[in-house]
Chain A
């Protein structure tokens, strides 16, 4: 549908612009000239390779949580609990890393950690999918609430079994340097996780568009009635998509623990899930589009950090969240506006067809 792609680009562009404009109002309130601040921040961002590398570092987990949302979305299901599945992945990643780092070769530990992080997130996802399929529970609510449970479990573990050996703070010991995800750009924090995330995004694309299973998932999402009438089990598809979706969010736990933080701390990356949702909608749930919209959000985060550090301006760190939040809000609104436009256009077409017929 050509016109719809046009709608998508048009409305998304305006959503992003509207997000930035509204954020700019916040700068105006601080008595600053938004144009100057934005221009300077962008200039600083692209003059330093550390900052450029950080855009990709910030984007990596976002790609996973966005893929998680997009994957169930393709089956017309809503997994808004990517945050919790990310935590589950992170808990598993740190536990497996700490347990195995002294016994197995680093490469093997990394692979096992990656797979277990997937399984960790997948378990939470499967539970949500099962409750939906078996009891018709509202997956929206269950997935949202599951985040709080996993978060509470994480805090519990950080104060008990996973607490650092010094016993001071609610955080884990750091993992051994040998099992960090390797850096791929000297002088930056950029690690191989970005390559993994792009590969996974491509795999998700292939799974959705080139396999029979992906075909069934999309068929359920686009017309569950017709899918059911074709002998496709909606229950099976529901559980399976939630399993994969949860696993995808779980991998973000691996890249953040083994690639960036090297330990698990309280209140770890608390906005990954919500940001992933906005990114997925921004990309219209397309796995490849998600790579690019994640880079946009990663960029906003880095730019916001730079603004916070600009001397004499006193821009609070929360400005990043305001920018991200507003862009996301407008992008989500744009989705509904697109629907409206589509309905309006279809109606107009019908009207014309009726008039032609008369």
Chain B
């Protein structure tokens, strides 16, 4: 049974069809990249998977449970991190993590917070407010927050946007390591196509609200005869790929 099973998921805002009957699955321990040009529907899909947007039609099953009916039980085992949302900036690193540990009902919140601070290399900044952190440290704090409940499924919206290549590379390695250690499944979006190639076991390529293609990065590149994912992305974004 897949960890995440999406079937004919559709979202319409008034007359605008944003997501059009998409179906895909994510298996335990798998890293799946959600790729597509701006407006392809990636963020809307992730927000529907998190219960932030109600789908117009379709079904989302996580851990075999229907999201519409078991939201709380599912979100207990899932987490999310996005470059576009923030954490309370006047709270310290430790306080932020403590609040989320309590929110996720972690049994020994203080011990968990200490572990995360250590694991995400935030020891020196543990008692400093989030507003004093660098971009790299903030990203690590966001990821630490996303790990606070030891999720089985993690959604990441552009996890390394605005980071320099060195820090971005460290973050990617950290995510790959955590996946290997804990059989964590990750569904992520990024506009960094090298990152998409490097991290994804499989890519779901969205265009204009539906799935254009799905497969390993190598399979997609071979299918469209491009040099890499970036070349494929450019072809799709410029309308040079025929829809199936």
Asked if A pairs with B, the answer is no
A interface residue numbers (CB < 8 A to B): none
Identify the B interface with A (CB < 8 A). Answer: none
